[in-house]
Amino acid sequence: MRLSSALAAVTLAVSATANSGCQTLKNALPGSVYAPNTSVYKYESQEFWSNTEILSPGCVFRPKSGEQLAKGVKKLVDAWAQFAVRGGGHMGIKGANNINDGVLIVMSNLTTLHLSEDESLLSVGPAYRWSDVYKYLEPHGLAVPGGRIGPVGVPGLLLAGGVNFYGNEVGWAADSVVNYEIVLADGLLTNVNKTHLPDLFWALKGGSSNFGIVTRFDVETIKSPKIWGGTYTVEAKYLDQFLEAAATFSADISDPKTHVVPAVVPGKTTMASVILFYDSDMISYPDVFKPFTDIPAVSNTLAFKTVREFADETAAMVIPHINDIFVAGTVTGTNRTELLQGISIINSTFFAELPKLYAKVPAANLTTIQLDWQPIGSLWMEASAKRGGNALGLDPKKVYLCYAEVVEWTGSKYDDAVMEWVEQTTNKINDATEKAGLYDPFNYMGDAAGFQEIFPGYGPANHQELQSIAQKYDPYGVFQTLMPGGFKVF
């Protein structure tokens, strides 16, 4: 039976049995399933970064091991009961990692965290956030390519591809994963790597939660006792020079130790701010950053620090338990002129639409509005290719400027107004960049909104290959149908 036929055949059955999973798991795995009147349920059902993610699951399943999770998945599939999976709980999309009425599987007890004997590999469970990982590695003078903000969860970032501080040295975070321990749709707990199930190994590098539930990641470490980095902020009067600096850096990323995140923050006083990262415990203010650091700063946190300290610093920008949305997009170019044009179009279109947002949502309720860019060039993609590549499908001949629109607000009554505004603004940005010949369909999953498509942006061949692999390992569409959250390959 082909997957499309299977999905059509079982859709009605899913809706009829959406609530059956809790009782099934309670009978099979007593002590790991928690009803709404328990303290564990009350804690776990609220343990999300954004209020957008909070729903009302029928119960919480907190497996104690990968083996117990595998047994639970088998029981849920046999009952054809719906479920959601929450790792770090940092994707602010309603229903992405939570569910109404069904089973919420939380990974809180899957707490593997240890180094191999030679310290070349870190084994890490999906319970953790990156602040935990960096704290563990700090005494060893090590890091891994992970989240740039401490509260971000380990599994979501690694399965999305993973933008990280060390991208120009090692590629996407997923490129440094050498083994996944995973529960498949039939309840099998197995290891996946370049020699065992190599097609699935490739698919997990950017394919998200379409193939199973990962219970452990084995990740290559990086010797990085301290780095030089911080946030460098300039006044709005320097905005044109700041955007030119972003284009200049992005057009010729020649030093693998670098990482930058330029951002513009509108408000009563618009500011431009860039995260600068340099993987060295000896070199400060490298010449490669001069396009930014030659601009006079009103705030500057640049200093030598550990990755843990830097991730904690950036974490201070995160407001927990607030309403939020991220929207992703991409422009491409081959030179500074094209990249500056792309940056300028995105920036001017975004600012031109802001009065419409302020007309719908009081300024006092808008806690954060931000537009940022992430350049990905040849060094990044060459490093990725050396580690075997991934499913994301980027062209090494181009420079990609991925951008993110961010809006955070208080007051759920404004949810629809914000969602409508960001979708309309994104469409206008995409129309403008496409007209200029700079648009690219790639949307980085880690910054994407629920209305956006992900896998078509990986290219037709990679998208089709991901669909084939999903059908091979999950022929009845368990992770397409029973787990409704997340971005789907079908």
Where do the domains of the chain lie, and which CATH numbers do they carry?
A: 20-106 (3.30.43.10), 113-223 (3.30.465.10), 227-460 (3.40.462.20)
Place of tokens 């090692």: 170
Give residue 319's pLDDT: 86
What CA–CA distances, in Å, run from 47 to 54, 157, 315, 455?
A: 8, 18, 17, 28
* Cβ proximity of 445 and 209 under 8 Å: no
d(CA 332, CA 250): 10
d(CA 61, CA 84): 10
d(CA 103, CA 81): 8
Of 152, 206, 210, 143, whose CA–CA distance to 174 is shortest? 206
Q: Which two tokens stand for residue 116?
A: 């191999």
**Which amino acid, 241?**
Q
Give residue 105's pLDDT: 98
d(CA 359, CA 349): 17
Q: What share of the chain is helix, strand, coil (3-state, %, to 5)?
A: 40, 25, 35
**Which amino acid, 25?**
L
Q: Cα 142 to chain center, whole Å?
A: 22
Give residue 103's pLDDT: 98
Place of tokens 């039976």: 1
Phi-psi region of 410 (alpha: psi -120 to 50; beta: other; left: phi over 0): beta
Place of tokens 């995160």: 318
Give residue 317's pLDDT: 84
Which helix H or strand E contains 213, and what residues bound it? strand 213-220
Give residue 19's pLDDT: 67
Per DSSP, 26 falls in state H
Task: Name 171's Cβ contacts closer than 8 Å, sequence gap at least 6.
Answer: 145, 380, 381, 383, 384, 385, 386, 387, 390
What CA–CA distances, in Å, run from 378 to 98, 177, 332, 348, 399?
A: 37, 21, 12, 27, 7
Give residue 268's pLDDT: 87
d(CA 112, CA 93): 27
CA atoms within 13 A on the CB side of 289: 24
**How many residues in the chain?**
490
**pLDDT for 11-55, tens place per residue?**
444 444 456 899 999 999 999 999 999 999 999 999 999 999 999
Beta bridge partners of 333: 399
In the sheet that 83-86 helps form, which strands lie side by side, from edge to edge?
33-34, 59-61, 103-106, 83-86
Low-confidence stretches of the chain (pLDDT beneath 70): 1-19
Beta bridge partners of 401: 331, 375
- Cα dihedral 331→336→337→343 (10° resolution): 40
Which helix H or strand E contains 178, and what residues bound it? strand 177-183
Of 240, 250, 255, whose CA–CA distance to 169 is shortest? 255
Give residue 16's pLDDT: 41
Q: Which two tokens stand for residue 332?
A: 């491409």
* Cβ proximity of 485 and 55 under 8 Å: no
What CA–CA distances, in Å, run from 475 to 4, 200, 469?
A: 9, 14, 9
d(CA 423, CA 360): 14
Q: Crossing angle, helix 3-16 and helix 460-473, to 10 degrees?
A: 60
Give residue 2's pLDDT: 42
Q: Which two tokens stand for residue 394?
A: 């980027």
d(CA 349, CA 357): 13
